[in-house]
Amino acid sequence: MADAIEKVSIIVSKGSLDGIYPGLIMANGARAEGMEANLFFTFFGLDAIHKKRHEHIKLATVGNPGLHLATWAGGLPGVSTLMTHYMEHRMGSLDIPSIPEFIEMIADTGAGLYACKASVDLFGLEKNDFIDQVNDIITVGEFYVLAAGGQIIFT
């Protein structure tokens, strides 16, 4: 068997429902396998750890050909909300936690949660805007130091 992966650092760069979940599932799964895991939220991915925004993450219904929905229909008022509710309902029935609950759970597994300093500055945010589980706001250089010796996954 090839050498087992012992550490992963996962970058979450998108702020849509479908942009955030994969990174969370991979981080949680890494911890379940006994790996060390860190999550680094950058750009719109910061919404996943934003106190006021992480309960309102939406599915992208425009520019998302995977939905098999005409672009004009995806842009109609309420469609994104409706599709998000539908997806949340499906996820709930499979016992997939909501984003706020999932992030809290991942923090409880001992994974590290970090916000990207460049993005925090860009959006004029501060530590207070984020949920308490966020360990720190770090630079890209600090991220690489943190990620040393493991795999880096960009989502």
Partner 1 sequence: MTTATIGTTDVELNDEGFFVHPEQWSEDMVPDLARREGIDELTADHWKVVRFMRSEYVSKGEGPTVRVLGKTSGVTIKALYQLFPKGPAKVAARIAGIPKPRGCI
Q: Which string of DSSP letters, residue by residue, matches 29-60?
A: HHHHTT-EEEEEE-GGGGGGGBTTTTTS----
How many residues of this chain interact with partner 1, rule: CB under 8 A? Answer: 15
> Under the criterion CB under 8 A, does residue 96 sit at the interface with partner 1?
yes
> Under the criterion CB under 8 A, does residue 1 sit at the interface with partner 1?
yes
- CA dist 89 and 86 (Å) reads 5
Helices (H), the chain: 17-32, 71-74, 79-93, 99-108, 117-122, 140-147
Instruction: Please give the distance of CA 8 from its chain centroid, rounded to a whole number.
Output: 14
Per-residue x/- mask for partner 1, residues 54 to 73, rule CB under 8 A?
A: --------------------
Per-residue x/- mask for partner 1, residues 21 to 60, rule CB under 8 A?
A: ----x--xx-xxxx--------------------------
> Under the criterion CB under 8 A, does residue 95 sit at the interface with partner 1?
yes
What is the Cα gyration radius of the chain? 16
Q: Closest distance between partner 1 and the C-beta of residue 76, in Å?
A: 32
| Residues engaged in binding partner 1 (CB under 8 A) | 1, 25, 28-29, 31-34, 95-97, 105, 108-110
